[in-house]
Amino acid sequence: MKKGMKVKVKNKINGLSPVIATVLLIVIVIVIALIVFIWIKGMVGDAITKFDNKNVQLVCGDVAFEASYTEGILYIMNSGSVPIFGMNVKDIEIGRHSTFDLRNDSETWPKTGLNQGDVFSEEFPFEGSEIVLIPVLLGESKKGRKTHVCDEKQYGYKIII
């Protein structure tokens, strides 16, 4: 080589090897698949059934009860053929509301629920101007017995105080 000549040396930059890139892509696909699976499983939930594997949400339509509130006493009578395991009570006041479960907060609610023809009555001091009674049913799932609160808008029973 002649004096004063500069030789250009190309630096060879290596990227990821094809094996490592393939492994990374597989791991990313598996992680994304797991995230989607967990997300869908959370949305679907565990099916609760009642009466010959009928979905408990459909059984809510068969619930029939009568209720009244007079002189500080709440009366509930199960006039249908579906046992009512519990009853959520929504006490509505202007600007706020509170909800409680009769099964937990009442001294006289039957432990096995309100069967066909049974009557419940107990004194309750409600603060609001109206209450909404929402039936709670007991059903079976793969994990054992579970409660299901029926939809308030469809199956709630409103009482003006």
The domain that contains 81 carries what CATH number?
2.60.40
Tell me the average pLDDT of the chain.
86
Residues 72 and 145 occupy one common structural domain:
yes
Residues 116 and 133 occupy one common structural domain:
yes
139 beta partners: 146
Whether 117 and 85 have beta carbons less than 8 Å apart is answered as no
Number of domains into which the chain is organized: 2
| pLDDT band, very low/low/confident/very high, at 122 (cuts 50, 70, 90) | very high
Whether 116 and 83 have beta carbons less than 8 Å apart is answered as yes
Answer yes or no: is pLDDT of 1 > 60.
Answer: no
Q: What pLDDT shows up at residue 161?
A: 85
Residues 38 and 53 occupy one common structural domain:
no
Residues whose CB falls within 8 Å of the CB of residue 156, separated by 6 or more in sequence, listed in order:
90, 132, 133, 134, 150
Residues 76 and 148 occupy one common structural domain:
yes
Question: What percent of the chain has a predicted confidence (pLDDT) above 90?
Answer: 48
- Domain boundaries, position 27: 15-45
**Is 115 inside any structural domain?**
yes
| pLDDT band, very low/low/confident/very high, at 135 (cuts 50, 70, 90) | very high
Q: What pLDDT shows up at residue 4?
A: 61
Select from 126, 121, 146 the least CA-distant residue to 136. Answer: 146
Residues 25 and 94 occupy one common structural domain:
no
Residues 75 and 133 occupy one common structural domain:
yes
Residues 27 and 81 occupy one common structural domain:
no
The neighbour count for residue 57, using CB atoms within 10 Å, is 17
Residues 40 and 83 occupy one common structural domain:
no
**Is 3 inside any structural domain?**
no
**Is 147 inside any structural domain?**
yes
**Is 133 inside any structural domain?**
yes
| pLDDT band, very low/low/confident/very high, at 46 (cuts 50, 70, 90) | low
